[in-house]
Amino acid sequence: MNCDRCESEATVHEVTISDGQVLEIHLCEVCAQETGIVSSSPAPVEEILKKIAAGKVSAESAPASPACPACKTTFSQFKQSGRLGCPECYTAMAQQLGPILDRAHQGAVHHVGKVPKRMMAQGGDAPGLVDREIALAAAEARAEQIRRLRADLASAVHAEQYEQAAQIRDRLQALQRGGTSGQSSGVGPTEGSS
């Protein structure tokens, strides 16, 4: 990969994520020093070794991270991999996972689920205003109505009743778009009837 500034071989790669935007910068050693991304004087080896030793001492004196009784995954393994071993890990590591989950879910304390936009328009502005049981029943009734209309459409086409099939098709399309089917009237959408 080439340097973004001088087209030399890039040896420094910086990835910055800001507001969901990913910015990648690829620079050679000289350009990286000029921009201040990399220091021109390397850190003394003694300082690096002291930092490493201090890190080991603090890690040794820290209490052992909790392990899941079911799968034996530890919190340090979770931090390295970003994955828990099993559902029991949530309970075993609840104290350590709490702040992480709070940040990830932006403070939400319970799952509210996803509500279709059409239901939001009918039920109010906030997902909490939608009665989930009514929404589920309406969705099931709608799915049943679509299934019934498809069967009616197939039988109308099979019986070569093409005008009736066209009306059923129009009702089916209206229902799939989110409208009502006009099922009881036997008339399709208001597009100018025959």
- Distance (Å, rounded) from C-alpha 189 to C-alpha 183? 10
Task: Provide the residue range defining the domain that includes 68.
Answer: 63-111
Q: Is residue 183 part of a domain?
A: no
My answer on whether 133 and 160 are in the same domain is: yes
Q: Is residue 182 part of a domain?
A: no
My answer on whether 3 and 37 are in the same domain is: yes
Position of tokens 């304390």? 109
Specify the number of domains making up the chain: 3
Q: How far is CA 142 from CA 108, 118, 126, 145, in A?
A: 31, 13, 23, 5
pLDDT by residue for the chain (194 residues), tens only, comes to: 888 888 888 888 888 887 778 888 888 888 888 887 766 555 566 666 777 777 654 444 445 667 899 999 888 888 888 888 888 888 888 888 877 777 776 666 666 667 666 766 665 544 454 466 677 777 888 888 889 999 999 999 999 999 999 999 999 898 888 765 554 444 444 444 44
> What pLDDT score does 158 carry?
93
My answer on whether 130 and 160 are in the same domain is: yes
Q: How far is CA 28 from CA 2, 11, 18, 23, 147, in A?
A: 8, 5, 23, 17, 62
